[in-house]
Amino acid sequence: MYYTKLGKNTVNAVRFAEVLQVMARHGFADLLGRAGFRNGLPARVLRSLNLIEAPKGPPETLGARLCAALTELGPTFVKFGQILSTRSDIVGPTLAQELTHLQDNVEPVPFDKMRGVFVETLGEEIETLYATFNTTPVASASLSQVYQATLSGGEKVAVKVQRPGSEKKIEADLSLMRQIADWIAEHMEDAKLLDPAGIVDEFARSIHRELDFNIEARIIDQFAQNFEDMPQVFIPGVYHDFSSSRIITMDWIDGVRVDQLDAYEARNCDPHTMALLGCDVLCRMIFEQRLFHADPHPGNLFITQNNQIAFLDLGMAGHLERTDVAAIADLFLAIFHEDTSACINAILTLTTQGEPHDMHALEHEIAEFIAFEAPTIIGGGQVGRGIETALQILRRYKLELAPRFSLLLKALATIETVGRALDPKFDFVPIIQPYLEHLILMRFHPKQVLKEARLNASALLKLGRQIPDDVGRLLQQMRHGKVRFNIHHEYLENLAHTIDRSSNRQVVGMITAAIIVGSSLIIATDSPLSRLGIGGYIFAGLLGAGLIISILWSRKF
């Protein structure tokens, strides 16, 4: 990618310069240099104007500096950092843990600017929709603000309203982030395995879902249906007549954070019971319902009354296929039963690459992990520690987890941390193991075996019917000379583009030289056409200046 691509969009160019400035000021100049950003035109301009400052103050950790930089860059980058906090297989456990401290609390937008959202999306003023409405927000995030209100029937509700202009700002930042990711993937060899463009695309899908409150409303409805037979779990109901793509009205949760231990006695709750309940509910979400809360930290878990737990921010959800759940069950059971071969097969199922660069070394390291560390981890009920160790092994062998599994493992590690905060003697293994064993037993249930046999037989019959037709079409195309083989050479398009650009510049240079020579000959003849020669000089000068600017402007930054 060249800077001219960014220059096509003035907003992107200015924003890119701002990103360079902020990252350099927070101590990432070396990283910018490795990526080639520091020596290009934008960085040179910023340095000449003294807009790139050296880090100030006492030295900080990498995570603290990155959190500060992302916070300064705004809500899109804060959200991106929060997504990276779930990808310890990419950024490492230490940095991932520090990124969890990124706060999405910002100064609230004045209510006068928020009022218009109600009219635009619901078609009525607030006074008509709600019996009472407190215009002071109870929570303010980068994308939305939450207000307390009551309906005409007396129901107390929470109203989540999207900030005006959020979508446009996010789309502009996503466009810039994707261009930067493409550049990094092309120019940093050690970054190619991380698939920076894929990470940005994953983030874009996540934030687009978060921008559509209709999706969040449907997710909440599904959670409510899943737990309608479990009264100790409170899922706030959605009032669809008072909700839209930018507004969601739901039941008000009368509770406190799950880690506010001094409030337990007044609410007739027990920390040990709540620790067991929170972990059991998440396991049920994952292994039975396959729709789970992706970020069950204490701020998203409330206690109400009589050992009832409530889940907030249910829009942060992950979804699993049946095969995904089976793969997770295989991984945990392989560790529990100290089966190295099954553990490796399960790990490779969870990754995107499929095969490590050194299978024998991976097998040896997994075997040592199971022999020496797994018994201690299992005996101590430390599922989170086991997950962290497994992810460190994946990183060493350049294996990347599929995004849905990253969310899942992050959720499991987070809920275990919450459980231990409530009860230091908490053991997660006895809670998760029955779910895993039930999944394995269900595989051998006669109904399940018969179902899989029927599906496999149907697939084989379908394949058998297709093969003769496919072979016949292939032979017919070969007889008519219509069989084509497409060969794709990586970066060949870039080479063709470079050759084309170089030849164009050579032609412009030759034309400029020819105009100069011709103009000189016309002026030397001392004829009435000498003025035409001067015009030729001017035109040649413009062409030459344009060529020089083009060369400087398109230098890789």
Catalytic residues: 295
DSSP 527-556: -TTHHHHHHHHHHHHHHHHHHHHHHHHTS-
**Residue (of 17, 1, 15) closest to 171 by Cα position:** 15
For 109-163, what is the HEC assignment? CCHHHHHHHHHHHHCCCHHHHCCEECCCCCEECCCEEEEEEECCCCCEEEEEEEC
Tell me the helix, strand and coil percentages in the chain, rounded to 5: 65, 10, 30
SS (H, E, C) 156-210: EEEEEEECCCHHHHHHHHHHHHHHHHHHHHHHCHHHHHHCHHHHHHHHHHHHHHH
CB 90 within 8 A of CB 84: yes
- 384: closest CA among 407, 420, 412, 408? 412
Helix (H) or strand (E) holding 431: helix 429-443
Does residue 229 contact residue 222 with C-beta atoms inside 8 Å? no
Residue 303: in which H helix or E strand, if any?
Answer: strand 301-303
Is-contact 122 242, C-beta < 8 A? yes
DSSP 233-302: EE-PPB-GGG--SSEEEEE----EETT-GGGTTTTT--HHHHHHHHHHHHHHIIIIISEEES---GGGEE
Show the CA angle centred on residue 325, arms to residues 322 and 330, nearest 5°: 125
Dist. CA 452–CA 443, nearest whole Å = 9
394, burial (CB in 10 Å: exposed 0-12, middle 13-18, buried 19+): buried
d(CA 339, CA 545): 70
308 SS3 class: coil
Query: Residues 6 or more apart from 236 whose CB is under 8 A from it?
Result: 158, 220, 250, 251, 252, 253, 310, 312
